[in-house]
A and B are shown apart, each in its own frame.
Chain A
Amino acid sequence: DAGITQSPRHKVTETGTPVTLRCHQTENHRYMYWYRQDPGHGLRLIHYSYGVKDTDKGEVSDGYSVSRSKTEDFLLTLESATSSQTSVYFCAISGGQGGLNIQYFGAGTRLSVL
């Protein structure tokens, strides 16, 4: 988890409320990723960023938006949270050195949408 901080670590919210999760890195890595992890589904990519203001969708992007205004911060927003978005969210970073996408993960954010 070194160099990557996710906040908050736990959050309980109500259906229909907006939620923003933050990922902060101190490694100056180019790539940042948001995943969700659910039982039976493993780890699924929501959105990723390949530079400041450069983002792209992943496998399960519906209902989520992201922003990256600085190299070190990658925000994940649930505009109107739904119960199906109850999950554990992980941020990951990668420097892409040598063309290799070795990813380093944060400790995760456990989100419950009631």
Chain B
Amino acid sequence: SQQGEEDPQALSIQEGENATMNCSYKTSINNLQWYRQNSGRGLVHLILIRSNEREKHSGRLRVTLDTSKKSSSLLITASRAADTASYFCATDEGGSEKLVFGKGMKLTVNP
């Protein structure tokens, strides 16, 4: 079953703008991760936020987590054409050895 669901499913913006994507999940988690997938490639880990954290930064990425609402958001600031990719959230279902991925969100950054 799909744990995380990204929203919106597709987003098109201009270079320099910020991009925000949201993820909702259903069960308790220990942590939530975001991955990026460029066309024709495998997924690449971007950032992990633990359940006891509310916000985390990594370069131009900012992730928030609201466990009371079972939701997370990924903000990419000052977007670049190279950020064009699909983005997935993934949760660990409360410490499982498995990750459950959302269906992904396609971001297009126009030059």
In the complex, the answer to whether B42 meets A108 with C-beta atoms within 8 Å is yes
Does A80 count as interface, using CB distance less than 8 angstroms? Answer: no
Q: Which of B30, B90, B98, B104 contacts A58 (CB 8 A)?
A: B98
Point out the residue from A4, A42, A59, A101 that lies within 8 Å of B88, measured CB to CB.
A42
Q: Are A90 and B98 in contact (CB under 8 A)?
A: no
Tell me whether B81 is interfacial, beta carbon within 8 Å.
no
Is B110 positioned at the interface, with any CB of A under 8 Å from its CB?
A: no
For the complex, is B43 an interface residue (Cβ under 8 Å from A)? yes
Partner of B103, one of A4, A42, A45, A48: A42
| B: interface residue count bin | 20 to 34
Interface SS of B by simple majority: loop
With A42-B2, A42-B102, A42-B103 already in contact, the answer to whether A104 and B88 are too (CB < 8 A) is no
Query: Do B48 and A90 have beta carbons less than 8 Å apart?
Result: no
Extra pairs beyond A42-B104, A101-B97 (19, CB < 8 Å): A1-B41, A1-B42, A4-B42, A42-B101, A42-B103, A44-B101, A59-B1, A92-B42, A92-B43, A99-B95, A100-B31, A101-B92, A101-B98, A101-B99, A104-B45, A105-B42, A107-B41, A108-B40, A108-B41
